[in-house]
Amino acid sequence: MQNEDLPSTGVMTLYPPGFRPRRGLNWGYLGLLYTSFYMCRYNFSIANKAISDQYHFSYSQMSAILTAWTLCYAFGQVLNGLITDRIGGKKAMLIGAAGTIVMNVIFGAASVWGILGLFIAIRGIDGYLQSFGAPGMTKIKTAWFVKTERGGFAGIFGFMINLGRLGIFNFGPALLAGFSFFGLVKVGPLHWRWLFWGPSILCGIIAVAMAFGVKETPEEHGYLPVEDYGAAKASDQWTITGSVIAALLLLGLFIVGWLYHIGRIGPIELGFIVVLFIIGLFIVLHIMAANNPPPPVHAYASPEPDEREPSPVAVVPEGAAAPLGYASAIKSPDEYDDRTTRADIRVALRTIAVNPAVWIVAAAYACTGAVRQPIDQWFPRYMQEVYQTDMKSAQFQFLAFLIPLVASAGSLMSGYISDKLFAGARAPVAAALYILETAIVCGASFTHTASAAVVFFIAISFTANSTHSILGTAAAMDIGGRKMTGFASGLIDSFQYLGSSVGLFILGQLLDYKPWGWKAYFPYMIPFGLLGFLLMVFGRNIIARGSHR
């Protein structure tokens, strides 16, 4: 298998024993940081009604705060995608983490004044700074996964971001209502500002861990480029070990979920137990990686540099001859990164912007955003106002738990189906999901009970988050390669938030229009599902030709 970003060395070997644990650690640190990004993002949906009630903001005014965030995020994705391809994914993610921490702290502090324009400005700046996250993470992961593994990674990525939503949807109401910690500590109801301060603290802790635990390429850990290993099958030992770990995690999840269901533990205790599980898993992966160090390799640079881009690099096992035309060995990790993962801004702009596959995927992704964001940002208030559902009730907790859970399941299933059944093609799977979403939204438009609304929210979340993963993550990685994934991801993801910005604005106006109000909530989504379906059906061949890395 040949990678267009790096010269082929002719080397093809199985993954070394320590590769998958090391890749799992790398992905885990990045995934957890992006999980905390989502907790700093979806906290607003939990605080929505409390802020509106305290300052008497209308639906349109609350939508203005949401729209400012999504618009700034959308435009930031384009600019920051280009910057990410120049500075690297790790620095981009750390910039985003520092920015969202500061802006969430300031947003909570702004509760003292309650000025709508100030809330809009703070949330808009936060949207721009968070837009460093997705291009940074996607760029790093492109170097660690070959094309037929990226759909599966996109599914796991979807699981991680939904873990962030699950966290804030469960812990947020607990902060507002008060909680106890294993009966030892009791905390009374907190002001909504803690929905912004709490996730910021968590994000800061994870950002420090990511700064020390992540490498941008396998080569920085001493491995060959992932393309030289190919999509090798796991060894029997790794399969058995992985199965045991997965079984133990599922057993633990079942036990903890049951205790939570019967009321023996609350949301805060649940979060503490989840953190312990994650720490334990990381310890196991660190031990496995340390006990299986990579075989030595050497990196060689081409003696003929290109003025527009850094010289290409070839990596070979120790003792193997340097490929023809490659001479000087590279010792500095910074020099290696500059040669293999960094792209000149003008080259990236010119290469990605003229690829028609980018624009078709981006247009479909706008349709995803126009459905996904109104569901995620407005479902708590919909249930509160239409069916008078209390956020601490079993019904709301059930919904808040299942929305991210089925979203994760959809992300994983769609990713693996596109990898294994369609050889990495994303459009056929996305087309099926869009038409299914349209049918579900049509059914939801006629619902009249809280239980039916719960079922439809869950079903829509499944479809919207499935297309979110395979188009915004996997397709962007396919199109951009390890050098230009930042811009490809940023450009495509920007359209998701442009679509959601338009959608949230329209929805806010519809909700304020008294003859319709919440009756327009689900029907508003129907045209976007149909448009996404048509783009995937008629643009599938263009996407296939433009997705060659």
Which CATH number belongs to the domain containing residue 50 in this structure?
A: 1.20.1250.20
User: pLDDT band at 38, cuts 50/70/90?
Assistant: very high
Q: What pLDDT does residue 5 have?
A: 42
Residue 174, both tokens: 């607990």
Residue 53 to residue 61: CA distance in whole angstroms: 12
Q: Residues 349-375: what's their mean pLDDT?
A: 89
Element (H, E) at 240: helix 236-261
Q: Residues 126-132: what's their mean pLDDT?
A: 96
Nearest one of 29, 123, 28 to 76, comparing CA atoms: 123
User: pLDDT band at 240, cuts 50/70/90?
Assistant: confident
Q: What pLDDT does residue 332 have?
A: 58
As beta bridge partners, residue 186 has: 180
Q: How many distinct helices (H) and strands (E) make up the chain?
A: 18, 4
Q: What pLDDT does residue 109 have?
A: 97
Element (H, E) at 280: helix 267-290
Specify if 5 maps to a domain: no
- From residue 197, alpha-carbon distances to 65, 102, 128, 155, 273 in Å are 18, 9, 19, 29, 21
Residue 37 to residue 39: CA distance in whole angstroms: 5
Cβ contact 138:477 at 8 Å: yes
Residue 340 to residue 227: CA distance in whole angstroms: 13
Higher pLDDT, 237 or 411: 411
Sort strands 185-187 and 297-301 into parallel, antiparallel or unpaired.
Answer: unpaired
Helices 89-109, 19-55: inter-axial angle, 10-degree rounding: 20
- Are residue 247 and residue 198 in the same domain, yes or no? yes
Instruction: Compute the residue count for the chain.
Output: 549
Q: What pLDDT does residue 11 have?
A: 46
Residue 470 to residue 414: CA distance in whole angstroms: 7
Q: What pLDDT does residue 301 have?
A: 55
Specify if 10 maps to a domain: no
- Are residue 183 and residue 146 in the same domain, yes or no? yes
- Are residue 390 and residue 305 in the same domain, yes or no? no
Residue 542 to residue 549: CA distance in whole angstroms: 14
- Residue bearing tokens 């442009």: 498
Specify if 32 maps to a domain: yes
Residue 89 to residue 85: CA distance in whole angstroms: 7
Residue 484 to residue 341: CA distance in whole angstroms: 8
User: pLDDT band at 330, cuts 50/70/90?
Assistant: low
252-262 confidence digits (pLDDT tens): 777 887 887 78
Residue 338, both tokens: 């500059």
DSSP annotation of 329 reads B
Element (H, E) at 179: strand 179-181
Question: Residue 161 half-sphere exposure, CB side, CA atoms within 13 Å?
Answer: 25
- Are residue 321 and residue 395 in the same domain, yes or no? no
48-64 confidence digits (pLDDT tens): 999 999 999 998 899 89
Higher pLDDT, 421 or 24: 24
- Are residue 363 and residue 352 in the same domain, yes or no? yes
Specify if 205 maps to a domain: yes
- Are residue 302 and residue 265 in the same domain, yes or no? no
Percent of the chain with pLDDT over 70: 86
CB atoms within 10 A of CB 2: 11
Phi-psi region of 360 (alpha: psi -120 to 50; beta: other; left: phi over 0): alpha
- Are residue 123 and residue 182 in the same domain, yes or no? yes
Higher pLDDT, 226 or 13: 226
Spatial neighbors of 382 by CB under 8 A, at least 6 apart, are: 453, 518, 521
Q: Residues 17-30: what's their mean pLDDT?
A: 90
- Residue bearing tokens 């994760």: 408
Can you give the pTM of this predicted structure? 0.79
**Res 91 pLDDT > 80:** yes
Number of domains in the chain: 2
Specify if 265 maps to a domain: yes
**Res 423 pLDDT > 80:** no
What's CA 105's distance to the chain center, in Å? 22
Cβ contact 470:154 at 8 Å: yes
The angle subtended at Cα 273 by Cα 268 and Cα 275, nearest 5°, is 95
- Are residue 395 and residue 314 in the same domain, yes or no? no
Specify if 194 maps to a domain: yes
Spatial neighbors of 23 by CB under 8 A, at least 6 apart, are: 144, 218
User: pLDDT band at 68, cuts 50/70/90?
Assistant: very high
Look over the chain and give the mean of its residue pLDDT values, rounded to a whole number: 84
- Are residue 327 and residue 354 in the same domain, yes or no? no
**Res 80 pLDDT > 90:** yes
Phi-psi region of 186 (alpha: psi -120 to 50; beta: other; left: phi over 0): beta
- From residue 371, alpha-carbon distances to 219, 381, 502 in Å are 40, 16, 11
- Residue bearing tokens 């930031």: 76
Specify if 143 maps to a domain: yes
**Res 314 pLDDT > 70:** no
- Are residue 376 and residue 467 in the same domain, yes or no? yes
Q: What pLDDT does residue 4 have?
A: 40
- Residue bearing tokens 């992961």: 141
241 is in which domain, residue-wise? Answer: 19-216+224-293+341-546
- Are residue 514 and residue 533 in the same domain, yes or no? yes
Q: Residues 441-454: what's their mean pLDDT?
A: 92
Q: What pLDDT does residue 194 have?
A: 97
Percent of the chain with pLDDT over 90: 38
**Res 219 pLDDT > 80:** yes
Residue 210 to residue 93: CA distance in whole angstroms: 9
**Res 482 pLDDT > 60:** yes
Specify if 429 maps to a domain: yes
- Are residue 317 and residue 354 in the same domain, yes or no? no
- Residue bearing tokens 């903890």: 256
Helices 526-546, 427-444: inter-axial angle, 10-degree rounding: 180
Spatial neighbors of 67 by CB under 8 A, at least 6 apart, are: 501, 504, 505, 508
Residue 523 to residue 534: CA distance in whole angstroms: 18
**Res 418 pLDDT > 60:** yes
Higher pLDDT, 136 or 300: 136
Cα distance between the two ends of the chain: 11
Helix (H, G, I), strand (E, B) or coil at 237: helix
* Domain stop point among 276, 310, 339: 339
- From residue 393, alpha-carbon distances to 215, 274, 303 in Å are 43, 22, 67
